[in-house]
A = this chain, B = another copy of it.
Amino acid sequence: VSDLFTIGEFSRSTHLSVKALRHYHDVGLLEPAAVDAATGYRAYAVAQIPAAQVIRRLRDLDMPLDEVRAVLDAAAVGDEEERDRLVVVHLQRMERQLEETQSSVAALRSLLEGSPPDVDVEFRVVPATAAVAVRADVTWDHVEDWLGGAQATLHAALDGAGVAPAGPDSALYATEFFEAHVGEVTAYLPVAGAVDAGAGTEPIEIPAVDLAVTVHAGSFDDLDRTYAALGAFVASRAIGVPGPVREHYVVAEAADPADLRTEVGWPIAPRT
């Protein structure tokens, strides 16, 4: 009466494929209880079944192997709190993905059904502005989170300095951010004069530019349609110049998302 399985028996017992088991061995996620030195045959123990089952369920939930390893490690040292925390964090991530999926479905539907919105484009000559800013290299998938945090930081810093913002929440997006889906983003709040608010912020001057500006009405989910219209406008007139795109979050909170207003400003050559 031994408690060892061949890899095939262990596969049938855990519903993990043999190839997957060998892979988990290779990467050190689930090491067989014994490996025959002569033949290389793997032997698994009954005691390894729970770990295998957890791995299978977490992989069903698309948790990366590195995180699965962290979960097993926490469980192995009896740290149930950490184990549960890691699982919950992953489930929350899935929850958010589900929300994004739902807004993608809605956006797809309006793409397939509706006609493109026509947009009014305004030319605007923008002077240099003093501002307090937070900036970082940000990836596409993390902008929303990052921007929320940066805006909170900016407001808290200005509050602390006793200064009122001289304009709406705004941000600059380097072209690289759109083209490589990772690049510099600058969240800023305009201020009346030079202010050093400290606390992770920096005083900067937002340079003067000429912009083609459109107001996007509604949720950020279909901001892409406004970008498309604005980009087409600029490209067709061949007036684009290098430089970051600006967004001004003119109406950033509303009970009905349809009431949100975002100005998108695309840098263009000065009109002569």
Contacts and interface: CB of A to CB of B under 8 A. Distances in A.
A271 interface: no
Interface stretch (A83-91, A151-159, A164-172, A186-194): A83-91
Q: Could you say how many copies of this chain the assembly holds?
A: 2
B11 A179 contact: yes
Contacts of A2: 235-236, 238
A50 B115 CA distance: 10
A175, A225, A235 — most chain B CB neighbours (10 Å): A235
Interface residues of A, number: 60
A201 B242 CA distance: 68
B104 A84 contact: no
Interface of A: 1-5, 8-15, 17-19, 46, 49-50, 53-54, 56-58, 60-61, 83-84, 87, 91, 94, 98, 100-101, 104-105, 107-108, 111-112, 116, 175, 178-181, 224-225, 227-228, 230-232, 234-238, 240, 245
